[in-house]
Structure 1
Amino acid sequence: MSRVPAHRSAKTKQWIKRQIPTVATGIGFLLLWELVARVIGNNRIFATIPYTLKQTLERSDTVVVRVMETFTSVFVAFILAVCLGVVLGMVVAELYTIRQMTMPLIIFAYAVPHPVLAPMFIIWFLIGGDITLLTFQNPAAYVLGSEMVRESTLSLAIDGVSTFGAWVGFFPVFLSTITGMNALEERFQHLGAVLGASRWQMVKYFRFWRAMPNITSSIKSTVQLSIVGVIVAEFIASSSGIGYQIVLAWKNAALGYMFGVVIVIMLGSYLFYQIAVWTLKAVTPPGSV
């Protein structure tokens, strides 16, 4: 019994040691930020930390509601990108004719600058309508007493913002799945032939698991790309989410609020990334991540 607490204590100490460089970097970033702001001496050009906190806290209810809207869309975009990327990547990797037909189109589509397409996704779903999967109360309503937060609801929906985020995050998973499945070592191909494995069995027991490290590595990139895609869609062609708040801060010349929104996005992105990596480690075989 005593070994278990000792093991946990050792793991906790090891985790704390690993976080020291991150914390030191964060403190250094804050010190540099405040130093530059003090040297410039103009909050309309480069906001100080106290000025940023003041303007952000004045709109804290709005920030909470909008950041939850954004990361609800990010969650949908991330799931769509991963599922479609893996499934279509497996199909294209396995069927040579389809690969030859589709790869030039995929390369061409990937070469198009993503922000150019954001208004198109918004327009398509404005015309066709959103697909709402689930509607629920904003979790912040159970913590904050603001009337605005209490009345806000969130929706897991396939809409213009989430599909554009999925489009941006789709390509790394898709291409990595194809690469990983086509990298199966020759000895495993011979083993499958000796065992009489069918094409589907080769995919199920060999090719997919060979591609797993590639897929998990690309999923970590997809986390960030999905966030980028959603926020770009929000401040280019949407009127909701935290991305739109950047546009409002720019129009109102509220630089402190803009800085605060950016910091909130950074913290939310870091948290979402850590949750995604932890989930990958929990559901995939050891060594895949």
Structure 2
Amino acid sequence: MSRGAVLSPLSLVMVIVLWEMACRAGLVSPLVLPAPSRVWDGLVILFTAPWFPQHVWLTTLETLLGFLIGGVAAIALGIVMVNVRIFKEIIYPYVVAFQVMPKVVLAPIFITWFGFGIESKIVMAIAISFFPVVINTVVGLESVEENASLLMRSLVASRSQVFWKLAWPTALPSIFAGLKTSLTLALIGALVAEFVTAKDGLGTLITTFSFELKVYLVFAVIIVVSALGLVMYGLMEYLERKIVFWRRSRFTG
């Protein structure tokens, strides 16, 4: 076992202990930073509440739908941009301009366009998670070695064969890197939209508990959101290991 594997959990335990001691000593107001024991009470309240699962499910659904729609569209756009140069020259500046725009300012617009239902949250998740997949798809497809491409063509490979047997496998590691980033950003997008206006969802709970000054419950929901993001990221890691298996064997073999 590595030193980091031991020191990392020990440092976390130490921080929690010091945090608890500072709160019990009255050095920090519970309205600013609740004690870890109080946050634990908040987690118990959430997981025993009959209404909590529907909030978790709604945020998860918004995130996954936004990620799937945005991911498929981004990969398709990246493929077109690589294969049609004039299209890339035209559309790429707009893609970059859209990325640098603060997405929070788009939330009221999306709500105006798509209403207060789940649709506006999904669109917000798409908007935030779209860019990393586009860029990583383009970078991955353009990273194909020229000699390998010439070899395929010398073997009379068709354009589709070059793509599926050379370009696509070469680009997959880069695409998955973008997808892992995109999935966590989709969760952020769904939460941001829920902050603005929603009746359900984890973002709504955070806003509601903040207004009620139940800071320990806010921290509890944040922990749930973090755990949800870690689970989603872990699933993408698992899919990457199963699909891009040759990359793992290259590094381990």
TM-score of the two chains, using structure 2 as the length reference: 0.87
User: Which residue among 50, 56, 59 is the counterpart of 2:37?
Assistant: 50
Alignment correspondent of 1:118: 107
Shift in alpha-carbon separation, 1:241–1:44, aligned structure 2, 3 A: same
Q: Provide, for residues 90-117 of structure 1, a one-character-per-residue CA deviation record: whole Å limited to 9, x for no partner.
A: 1111111110110111111111011111
1:181-196 equivalence runs, <5 A:
181-196=141-156
With the length of structure 1 as denominator, give the TM-score of the two structures.
Answer: 0.77
Amino acid at match of 1:43: P
How far did 1:234 drift?
0.9
Residues in 1 aligned to 2:241 and 2:107: alpha-carbon distance in whole angstroms: 32
Correspondence 1:93 to 2:53: no
- 1:208-253 Cα shifts (integer Å, max 9, x gaps): 1111111111112112111111111111232320011111011111
Q: Which has the higher strand share?
A: 1
1:152 aligns to what? none
- Can you give the 5+ residue segments of structure 2 that lack an aligned partner in the other structure? none
Check whether the contact 2:20–2:37 (CA below 8 A) recurs between aligned residues: no
Alignment length, in residue pairs?
Answer: 246
- 1:118-171 per-position Cα deviation (integer Å, ceiling 9, x unaligned): 2222332229xx7xxxxxxxxxxxxxxxxxxxxxxxxxx7x2112211221111
Q: Equivalent residue of 2:245, what SS?
A: coil
For 1:279, the equivalent position in structure 2 comes to 239
User: Residues 201-280 of structure 1: matches in 2 within 5 Å?
Assistant: 201-280=161-240
CA distance in 2, matches of 1:70, 1:25: 31
Q: Is residue 14 of structure 2 the alignment partner of residue 33 of structure 1? A: no
Correspondence for 1:6: none
Residue of structure 1 in register with 2:10 after alignment: 24
**Identity across the alignment (%):** 21
Q: In structure 2, do the counterparts of structure 1 residues 192 and 220 end up closer, same or farther at CA, with 3 Å as the change threshold?
A: same
The correspondence for 2:128, drawn from 145, 155, 168, is 168
1:77-101 alpha-carbon deviations (Å, 9 max, x no partner): 2222321221211111111111011
Distance 1:33 1:85, change over 3 A: farther
Measured at CA, do residues 29 and 68 of structure 1 come closer, stay the same or move farther in structure 2, by a change above 3 Å? farther
Tell me how far 1:59 sits from its aligned partner. Answer: 4.3
Moved more, 61-70 or 242-251: 61-70
Equivalent-residue separation in structure 2 for 1:224 and 1:33 (angstroms): 28
More deviation, 260-269/18-27: 18-27
1:30 to partner: Cα distance? 2.4
Secondary structure of the 1:119 match is helix
- Matched residues in 1 for 2:246 and 2:188: separation? 29
How far apart, in 2, do the equivalents of 1:219 and 1:65 lie?
26
Any conservation in 2 of the 1:184–1:206 contact (CA below 8 Å)? Answer: yes
Whichever residue aligns with residue 108 of structure 2, its letter is P
